[in-house]
Amino acid sequence: MVLSIKTNISALTSLKEMREGAAATRKTFAKISSGSRITTARDDASGLAISNNLRLNLASAKSALSNIKQATSVLQIADSGLKSMQGKIERMSEIAAMASSDNLSNEERAYLDAEFQLLKDGISADINSATYNGENLLGERPEYALGPVGNDLQTDDGVVGFQFDNDGLFQNNDIFDFTYDSATNVFQIENTNTSYRESIQGPVGGIAAGRTFDLDFDKIGIKITISSDFDFATDIDPAVQDANFIVRTNDPNAPAFIPSDLTNLVQNISPEDGTVNIIGGAVQSVGDLEVTGGNNSAFQGTPANRPTLDFGGVFGRDALVFDGVNDYLRVNDSASINLGTFQERSIAMSFETGADIATTQVLYEEGANVNGLNIYVQGGQLYMGVYRGNGAQRAFVNTPIAANTQYTMSMDFNSNTNTFTGYLNGVAIATIPGIGAALPSHSGDIGLGGIEQQTRLHDGTLLASGANFGGKIGDFLLYNDSFTAADHGSLDTYLRNAAGPATAGFSNEQMAFQIDHAQGEQLIYKKAQTDFLEVQIAGLNVLTLGSAQNAVNELRAATDFISTERSKIGGLLSQLEYASNQVSTFEENTLNANSVIRDADLAAETTTLASDVLRDRVNILTLQAANEMGGRLLALLEG
């Protein structure tokens, strides 16, 4: 070893080793004291990133478990309330059955009715007491307002106001028929969904000029105000006239219009809202949402001719994509669409053109060579029309369109006025003379996105094949009715999705709980509408034989209702149990995975610490020895 006055190499080497050893010892101490293998990002950068994601998943899992516990508590409280109601209704049924016996006098029935009424009041108490965190769990009654009104019940017809009792015998979207018999001066309204009806006598001698009269249907809970403009000499029959109105919950977020607001809807093909069957990535069928017109679903049995589905493809709603070569859907001949004589017909749809708008492309057709109607693209124009008598009588309107552009269209055929009107984006294209008569029966099946059998164009040309549409079709609506321009504007608004989606429900109609650690699954508890049940049984008593027998029937229906609601809650509780097990398993596995990455192995670290301490001691001794080498140099110089 070379002895040097200027540099002590051995001492510097020992100092370097001692510093490195001290740093390693500090790291080991940090791991042992924190219990974590990763104390800084430099310890394991990728492991730290993975661990942080796992920690985020753990936090979501803990929140989901908390939500599941709260949801379980909510449902158990709701079920407890329904169970209490069920017990009271069972006792009320026993009382009603006893009061239905001929061997009791009305005085004896009065004793039974006293208990009967107390039990009925107890049901109201059960509804009001079933709360969680201040929120009623058994369905609070929302406020109601007037929805769409028929054209024959307008202000100029003398119908000037509607009021709705919150405890009335109706629910959201109930449709009421309005009838007036001029011979007896009797007004009647009937809930078409429940068949509840009520009649009242009109004002004797009519209404003085400038005055009004309230038709108070107090049992149903609706008050209708009529003015002196009302025609008391003319009957109103909803089977003939547009004399109905719709009750809506007073929800500012609900759409102002839905397709069923217009009368005689017989087909509603919606890739967004309907049932879509997809096989091998292609659409085999789309269900018909409007069941009153029969099962007019659209389908394609040949795999090579099936369109595909584009999520949010037209105006933000799901749409069918047709290739312009083979793709189309068919609808079987239907008594409500083409097998019969039709005085009126309205069709509306949303669609998107493709790059080619020059060649003939059929969006929709029904019928064949003799009679029918269709919608198609040709020469940069959109055509829509109707024909009969081998095309001898035909009515078509057309308007320019652009490529790769989204539109709404609607058409209105009315043989009673002999008119045909076409609309694009809610604006009338033209109104022209019709075909001089009703549209006769026109079998030949129905094509959506192409020709099913045959169809005639505006110039009388007969197409028997090809002409498939190359673009997208969204919602499709078909009515056996004729509508005003304002109604077609409402259809345009709906098809454009401008009204927004219908809300899932008010906070007083349902509750949602996030029960999935991935924040994807919600459990929806739709509150049992016991408020409506309360209204239905409000007038029950057993004071007479007849009222007792009526109570037996009504209470049987109430029992069925509560049993159904409790079974729904039972299903939700089972779903929560499965969700709890799944999230708990996920939490356990994630904890284990995070522990492997993040937690320190204390046995290994303490062993490393012992080695580090020993190394530090050795480094101190070697540094001490290296520093003593200067003394040896001095001794050598002193000789």
Please state the rounded mean pLDDT for residues 568-587: 85
Mean pLDDT of 197-220: 93
**Which domain covers residue 624, as residue numbers?**
9-35+601-638
pTM, two decimals, is: 0.50
Domain contains 510: no
Cβ-based neighbour number of residue 409 at 10 Å: 26
Q: Are residues 223 and 312 in the same domain?
A: no
Cβ 215 vs Cβ 227: under 8 Å: no
When divided into structural domains, the chain yields a total of 4
Higher local confidence (pLDDT), 88 or 12: 88
Task: Say if 274 falls within a structural domain.
Answer: yes
Q: Which helix (H) or strand (E) holds 344?
A: strand 344-352
Mean pLDDT for 179-204 is 92
Same domain, 173 and 305: no
* Per-residue pLDDT at 201 exceeds 90: yes
Whether the pLDDT of residue 630 is over 80: the answer is no
Per-residue pLDDT at 533 exceeds 50: yes
Q: What band does 4 get if pLDDT is binned at 50, 70 and 90? A: low
pLDDT of residue 293: 67
% of the chain with per-residue pLDDT over 70: 86
Beta bridge partners of 381: 378, 400
Tell me which of 194-203, 374-383, 626-635 is least confident.
Answer: 626-635
Same domain, 79 and 172: no
Q: How do residues 371-411 score in pLDDT, each as one tens digit?
A: 999 999 999 999 999 999 999 999 999 999 999 999 999 99
Q: Tell me which of 505 and 269 has the higher pLDDT.
A: 269
Q: Which of 452, 474, 495 is at the close of a domain?
A: 495
Domain identity same for 97 and 156:
no
Same domain, 335 and 446: yes
Question: Residue 151 has what pLDDT?
Answer: 78
User: What pLDDT score does 168 carry?
Assistant: 80
The one-letter amino acid code at 631 reads: G
Specify whether 426 is located in the same domain as 486. yes
> Are 126 and 558 within 8 A, CB to CB?
no
Predicted local distance difference test score (pLDDT) of residue 505? 33
Q: Would residue 49 count as lying in a domain?
A: no
Q: CA-to-CA distance for 57 and 325, rounded, in angstroms?
A: 48
414 part of a folded domain = yes
Q: What is the pLDDT of residues 249-269, one digit of tens each?
A: 765 555 667 888 888 999 999
Output the CA–CA distances (angstroms, integers) from residue 534 to 83, 132, 235, in the order listed: 15, 20, 35
Q: Looking at the domain assignment, is residue 595 inside a domain?
A: no
- Asked if residue 303 is part of any domain, the answer here is yes
Q: Which tokens belong to 561?
A: 């209702």
Residue 185 has pLDDT above 70, yes or no: yes
The domain boundary residue, chosen from 586, 610, 630: 586
Tell me the CATH number at 345: 2.60.120.200
Task: For residue 639, count CB atoms less than 10 angstroms from its CB and return exposed for 0-12, middle for 13-18, buried for 19 or more.
Answer: exposed
Q: Does residue 435 sit in the same domain as residue 476?
A: yes
Residue with more model confidence, 41 or 449: 449
Residue 506 forms part of a structural domain: no
**What is the rounded CA–CA span in Å between residue 191 and residue 144?**
15
Residues 400 and 463 in one domain: yes
The reported pLDDT for the residue numbered 500 is: 45
**Which residue, of 189, 221, 250, is where some domain finishes?**
250
Q: Are 504 and 511 in contact (CB under 8 A)?
A: no
User: Same structural domain for residues 290 and 339?
Assistant: yes
Cα-Cα-Cα-Cα torsion 526, 532, 537, 539, nearest 10 degrees, comes to: 170
pLDDT attached to residue 241: 85
> Domain for residue 41, yes or no?
no
| 102/11 Cα distance (integer angstroms) | 119
Same domain for 384 and 292: yes
Residue 134, pLDDT > 90, answer: no
Domain co-membership, 121 together with 223: no
> Do 491 and 631 share a domain, yes or no?
no
